[in-house]
Amino acid sequence: MTTTTLKEPLRGSPAGAATREPRRRTGRIRRAGLPYLLLLPALILELLVHLVPMVIGIVMSFKELTQFYIRDWGTAPWTGLGNYKVSVDFDAPVGEALLHSFFVTVAFTLLSVGLCWLIGTAAAIYMQDTFTGRGLLRALFLVPYALPVYAAVITWVFMFQHDNGLVNHVLHDQLHLTDKPSFWLIGDNSFYALLTVSVWKGWPFAFLIVMAGLQNIPGELYEAAALDGAGMWQQIRRITLPSLRPVNQVLLLVLFLWTFNDFNTPYVLFGKSAPEAADLISVHIYQASFVTWNFGTGSAMSVLLLLFLLVVTGVYLALTSRGRRTGDV
Amino acid sequence: MRSIRAAAVGAVTVSLALAATACGGGSSNGGGSNDSPKTLTYWASNQGASIAVDKKVLQPELDKFEKQTGIKVKLEVVPWSDLLNRILTATTSGQGPDVLNIGNTWSASLQATGALLPWDAKNFAKIGGKDRFVDSALGSTGAAGKDPAAVPLYSMAYALYYNKQIFADAGISKPPATWDELVADGKKISAKGKSPLGAEGSNLSENIHHVFVFAKQHGGEFFTADGKADFTNAKVVDAVKQYVDLMAKDKVIPTGDAEYAQNQSVSDFAKGKQAMLLWQSASANLKSQGMSPDQYGIAPVPVQSGTPGTGTQVNSMVAGINLAVFKNSHNLDGAAKFVKFMTSDAEQKILNTAYSSIPPVRTAQTDAAFNSPANAVLKDTLAKSAAALPQVADESQFETAVGTAVKNLFADVAAGRAVTTASVKAALEKAQQQMPAK
């Protein structure tokens, strides 16, 4: 945006425009080329680290890559769209299971992202006021985010255990909320166990980002609003949330992608075969490829997942940036 | 500007989306060599109570081997949760160990990948011949009619471990020989406030080992003679139902065990909370958890009626560990020497004693060290009433699919849902649909 304002006076100057044109053009090319030059190392590494494995993954999805061929991929027969057909044939068991897993993941992601955002934002707003112990609380809130995932989730596994777990001890033994101890790691409750851990792990990130965003809102806005008689809710609705819009836009997208793709949490909680109620798509694909040794189908599922996320991201960005442009005017 | 940002976010999306699932690596191009004759890499499975225990057991032996041959063996003990994935990755990339332990039930599946050196007559001659190994152990080294993919290293069998004190308190004079007796004894034990029997309801392999034996006892098979999955035949359904009913109907397995997958039932037994345990070669494990051998007795796993034997009287799988050589090894001769060393009489005695397993080598098996009452039961079971799991290329998938079905059935019981013949059949039907269509 700033470059156009800089260029305006140049273009407007009438003197010697014709004679200076070539030099200006090479200069412009050089100036335009510099960012690409600077980006080159990153680009090359990006190609190596991300795009090459991705392309291999996409190639794999067109092959029948079972245990008989993994030793020498080249000999695996091409199946064309065979793996994709199996994956999206929702009347057959494989496709049906994938669809089920997809819906579970969508529900889980919406709930988890929503709760993470809500808790994170609420905490960040409360933490705006200065009070004793604020620094300590802020640090404490960030602990789940700072802990290594594996260690944190394993601790949750212990807490969710049926016989000796802390959760049942509190809910059943002490508060008597349930008739008998519940199972959290198997059966239908596993969805809530997974959601709990995911929100516990994810909200500090929302908290951190929103807190940073709040620092940029000028205090005068609140003072002026207070003078005009706006209450706390009105201030949040009319000042805080609109000002946080750009932050939230990125935050929600990142949380969505992380949660949708989360592998570590369900894998550590449930192991190789997750209960149906908590069969997230990442673990499902892992199982489709590693546990059943069918890497072609697994890759096809990954590519489908990739396409879905691309579409969601594209639509989301299109919608939110259009909304913002009209908002700016 | 917007398109650049969209592209950037797109790139981030793409990388995030594939980060979890992308697989790198390259294809390998064929056979091994003898390019590096002075070193070997050995992946050992976790046989002792911990990885540290394994290192302590194995390292002195590897030092001995180095002294004899001048070949240095780099040891890595790989936990069970990782071992199969690590082997698959090594197979895919061609970058693996020279020698490795595999669970003997994986033999046929890994054999199908072509990553392991086939033990033909020539290779067997290098380690003293095929005849050195007992037949039951050789029966679990690969598909019938093909050269074995590995050689037997440790043999194990399931047995019934029972707590003598709890049995005495409940007025039970001898361990149950049939399932009916076990259920009846279970009622007496429950009355004393102890849990009768343990199980690892969420451990897929344990589930498979047990339903396999129950299927045998019902005269059923999970695979047809030509290797097709046949999980829904009435005998298999009855067998699976009988196992799950130990929790659902007979109530000898506590519902809490439905979520066990980390050998918690062994701990429950070692702590004296639970009267019985069906486990393979548990002595060393129990000792490490503080239970002394005189506190428990060992008996054969129950049968439907009569005494253990062949056919429907089978009461254990042939459990064990095989030693395989990676075809891509750069020290094939050294690897053969190492296999010879590990399967020598002297090493077999040392290692199998340390792991409370039975040597699959005939001459080592006769040693007095393996004549204790505990080992007598295991040896007897292996010799007379153990059967090998299906040696088919899809074995690994079978373990996952059927193991998960049983896990889900246990979860149903835990959630208070009824387990019926129909629901067992439905679960097995679903497992069968997940098997490769061929």
Residues B261-289: tens digit of each pLDDT: 888 999 999 999 999 999 998 888 898 88
What is the rounded average pLDDT of the residues B158-164?
Answer: 96
Could you read off the pLDDT of B96-113 as tens digits, one per residue? 899 999 999 999 999 999
A67/B112 Cβ within 8 A: yes
Q: How far lies A52's CA from each of A57, B22, B91, B208, B427, in Å?
A: 9, 10, 20, 39, 40
- Say yes or no: B294 and B344 in one domain: no
Other beta carbons within 10 angstroms of residue B231's beta carbon come to: 27
User: Helices (DSSP H) in A142-288: which residue ranges?
Assistant: 143-146, 149-159, 166-168, 190-215, 219-227, 232-235, 241-261, 264-270, 281-286
- Say yes or no: B200 and B138 in one domain: no
A292/B16 Cβ within 8 A: no
CA distance B51 to B224: 39
Q: Is residue B204 part of a domain?
A: yes
> Looking at the 3D structure of chain B, how many domains does it have?
2
Q: Is residue B76 part of a domain?
A: yes
In total, the C-beta contacts within 8 angstroms joining chain A to chain B are 167
Q: Do the Cβ atoms of B399 and B234 come closer than 8 Å?
A: no
What integer pLDDT is reported at residue A1 of this predicted model? 39
- Say yes or no: B353 and B253 in one domain: no
Q: How far is B433 from chain A, CA to nearest CA, in Å? A: 6
Q: How far is B165 from chain A, CA to nearest CA, in Å? A: 24
- Say yes or no: B346 and B367 in one domain: yes
Could you read off the pLDDT of A144-164 as tens digits, one per residue? 988 999 999 999 999 999 988
C-alpha angle A164-A169-A170 in degrees, rounded to nearest 5: 150
Structure tokens at A156: 């949750």
Q: Is residue B260 part of a domain?
A: yes
CA distance A17 to A36: 28
| pTM (two decimals) | 0.84
Mutate to test the interface with A, among B2, B12, B23, B274 (most CBs of A within 10 A): B23
Name which of B11, B115, B404 is nearest A71 (Cβ-Cβ).
B115
Q: Is residue B219 part of a domain?
A: yes
Residue B295, pLDDT > 60, answer yes
Q: How far lies B368's CA from each of A209, A233, B28, B60, B364, in Å?
A: 69, 83, 46, 23, 9
Looking at A5-9, B33-37, B158-162, which range is the least confident one?
A5-9
CA distance B341 to B337: 6
Q: Is residue B4 part of a domain?
A: no
Mean pLDDT of chain A: 86
Q: Mark which residues 105-134 of B lie under 8 Å from A by CB.
A: 109, 112-115
CA distance B428 to B422: 10
Closest CA to A116 of A194, A244, A203: A203
Q: What is the extent of the structural domain holding B379?
A: 39-156+319-387
pLDDT category at A323 given cuts 50, 70, 90 is low
- Say yes or no: B93 and B43 in one domain: yes
- Say yes or no: B366 and B396 in one domain: no
A314/B434 Cβ within 8 A: no
The H or E element that residue B387 is part of is strand B386-387
Q: Positive or negative CA dihedral for B246, B248, B252, B258?
A: positive
- The domain boundary, picked from B370, B387, B404, lies at B387
- Say yes or no: B261 and B199 in one domain: yes
- The domain boundary, picked from B371, B387, B403, lies at B387
DSSP string across B149-175: SSEEEEEE-EEEEEEHHHHHHTT--S-
| A321 contacts in chain B (CB < 8 Å) | 2, 5
Q: Mark which residues 20-49 of B lie under 8 Å from A by CB.
A: 20-24, 27-29
B112/A162 Cβ within 8 A: no
A253/B16 Cβ within 8 A: no
Query: What domains can you pick out in chain A, each with its CATH number?
Result: 83-328 (1.10.3720.10)
- Say yes or no: B310 and B228 in one domain: yes
CA distance A260 to A254: 10
CA distance B101 to B383: 23
ipTM: 0.80
What integer pLDDT is reported at residue A321 of this predicted model? 79
Mean pLDDT of chain B: 89
- Say yes or no: B412 and B281 in one domain: yes
Residue B182: give its domain's CATH number. Answer: 3.40.190.10
Q: Is residue B10 part of a domain?
A: no
Name which of A93, A285, A310 is nearest B434 (Cβ-Cβ).
A93
- Say yes or no: B54 and B115 in one domain: yes
| B12 contacts in chain A (CB < 8 Å) | 257
SS3 state of residue B308: coil
A286/B21 Cβ within 8 A: yes
| A74 contacts in chain B (CB < 8 Å) | 27
Residue A310: burial class (beta carbons within 10 Å; 0-12, 13-18, 19+): middle
Q: Is residue B16 part of a domain?
A: no
Name which of A68, A92, A317 is nearest B112 (Cβ-Cβ).
A68
- Say yes or no: B123 and B182 in one domain: no
Q: How far is A105 from chain B, CA to nearest CA, in Å? A: 14
Which one of A139-148, A171-180, B64-73 scores highest in mean pLDDT? B64-73
Name which of B1, B18, B410 is nearest A302 (Cβ-Cβ).
B18
Mutate to test the interface with B, among A87, A89, A154, A186 (most CBs of B within 10 A): A186
- Say yes or no: B150 and B162 in one domain: no
Name which of A161, A273, A306 is nearest B18 (Cβ-Cβ).
A306
